[in-house]
A and B are shown apart, each in its own frame.
Chain A
């Protein structure tokens, strides 16, 4: 390579290098976005479950309350 007179055409390697850099970064950004979206969905689902469980507990408490009063 050091004894050549003409600069070799290595443009295809350059294009491949830049393309792979963009591809890897884009794939990582996409993975961050998808994981973030899934976590948001998980948080929403768990919040709803928590609210439903709290509502159920309240109902149960209300049902128990008249019985306790009658026992008294």
Chain B
């Protein structure tokens, strides 16, 4: 297995620093929202993780097209990495949303269009791994996964636009005018600073974890190849 590149080591450290800085900005720099109190501070992480996860899922669909066009297993490995990291980030998004909903909506969960579509996205991509587990042949596995991820990729934009298309209690903080929404707020200077920094921080953290996961996939492929060679 190749030695970890210096750039990746630096990115690991930068990611840790950015996560700490984003936490500091969210808790100590952004002002407290008057109606919801301190729980609103999780918003910066909630949107930051959702942003990278949804882009990750759409990116996965693009990788499916590349794999299906080239049939190169390298793209399958990159796709698995993108899906896995996106699933982790989206899990954080859903948990943070639920924690925020409890004091804001007086419930941990409600079958609102946004929450339902978000749950569907997460389950679609958890099922992606179940599908992969059931297939031993690497080429067959990559083909099925690519088609599945291509169709599954549609669920990400549906989730993003759900609060803009349907009646929902989920707030649309960016360019939103939903009268039904509960828990919405306008962002002031400090809030915007924390918000955009969190978006940047989670983008860098995503790239770092994605790169690490690609390397892991390469090692897995090497082990699989060595096992096949050893068998003959």
Interface of A toward B, CB cutoff 8 Å: 1-2, 4, 7-11, 13-14, 16-18, 20-21, 24-25, 28-29, 32, 35-36, 39-40, 42-43, 46-47, 49-50, 53
CB distance from B192 to the nearest CB of A (A): 19
**B42 near A32 (CB under 8 angstroms)?**
no
> Residues 1-24 of chain B: 1 if any A CB is under 8 Å from the residue's CB, otherwise 0?
100000000000000000100010
**Pair count A-B, CB < 8 A:** 107
Smallest Cβ-Cβ distance to B45: which chain A residue = A21
**B226 near A32 (CB under 8 angstroms)?**
no
Smallest Cβ-Cβ distance to A33: which chain B residue = B212
CB contact under 8 A between A7 and B219, given known A13-B103, A18-B23: no
Taking residues whose C-beta sits less than 8 angstroms from the other chain, chain B's interface range is: 35 or more
Interface of B toward A, CB cutoff 8 Å: 1, 19, 23, 26-27, 32, 34-42, 45-46, 49, 88, 91-92, 95-96, 99-100, 102-104, 182, 205, 209, 212-213, 215-216, 219-220, 222-223, 226-227, 229-230
CB contact under 8 A between A43 and B42, given known A9-B37, A24-B91, A24-B92: no
Note all chain B residues with C-beta closer than 8 A to A11.
Answer: 37-39
